[in-house]
Chain A
């Protein structure tokens, strides 16, 4: 079945450091790919998405490019802030008309001032 593998961390960075969180996927079709973020005590928020190969999703300084050849969707940010501290989830949707998301295990990011 479909699956998502992401580096589990935790990841600890200093403010203004560069961030990469790796995500790879296995899917039978051509999935849409997502990054969600979960702040403490809250639900998930969509951070960015890409629906086809070579698409780049971006939001709030975060970027991820859909790489079909390496089945990857790595999350990057050039300069992290303390407010970026959260848990990040990579996810895919491979069922056309369905809402079902398959999530990775999540990566906890802590940014220190």
Chain B
């Protein structure tokens, strides 16, 4: 089975722009979660989707949004980019919800905001 894929892998944007990141989960996985990884804050939970519904959201401003499609693919969007949004954005998928299901992480999208 193919692993979790994230596109693009690298992205450079300017302050004030918006960006959309994509995540394709492992085939058959219905749960997708997103994390932001920065040197200062470490790994922080953004959101979690299951069957196209957002089930949980982390403590991020409303500029961060996401969605999940019927094929379980997910996108996250960041509007009005700030320098502090520069980070590695990781997506993880699992078959179901909860700690009983292993989460598989993608390689991440490296976003640089200038």
Interface of A is mostly: loop
Q: A32-B99, A44-B90, A46-B103 are in contact. Are A100 and B33 (CB under 8 A)?
A: yes
In-complex Cβ contact of B55 among A32, A91, A98, A102 (8 A)? A98
Question: CB distance A43 to B103 under 8 Å?
Answer: no
Q: Mark A75-113, 1 if CB is under 8 A from B, else 0.
A: 000000000000001010101111111111110000000
CB of B51 closer than 8 Å to a CB of A = no
CA distance A101 to B94 in the complex (A): 13
A99 — which chain B residues lie within 8 A by C-beta? Answer: 31, 33, 48, 50, 55-56, 92, 94, 97-98, 101, 103
Name B's A-contacting residues (CB within 8 A): 4, 31, 33, 35, 42-45, 48, 50, 55-56, 58, 90, 92, 94, 97-108
Question: CB distance A93 to B105 under 8 Å?
Answer: no
CA distance A103 to B106 in the complex (A): 17
CA distance A103 to B100 in the complex (A): 17
CA distance A97 to B102 in the complex (A): 13
CB of A22 closer than 8 Å to a CB of B = no
Question: CB distance B98 to A44 under 8 Å?
Answer: no
Interface size on A, residues (CB 8 A): 26
B50 — which chain A residues lie within 8 A by C-beta? Answer: 99
Q: A41-B107, A43-B90 are in contact. Are A98 and B48 (CB under 8 A)?
A: yes
Which residue in chain A gives the minimum CB-CB distance to B31? A99
Query: Would you mind naming 30 contact pairs between A and B with Cβ atoms under 8 Å apart?
Result: A31-B99, A41-B107, A43-B90, A43-B105, A43-B106, A44-B92, A46-B103, A49-B99, A49-B102, A96-B99, A97-B55, A98-B55, A99-B33, A99-B50, A99-B56, A99-B92, A99-B94, A99-B97, A99-B98, A99-B103, A100-B33, A100-B58, A101-B33, A101-B43, A101-B45, A101-B103, A102-B45, A103-B42, A103-B43, A106-B43
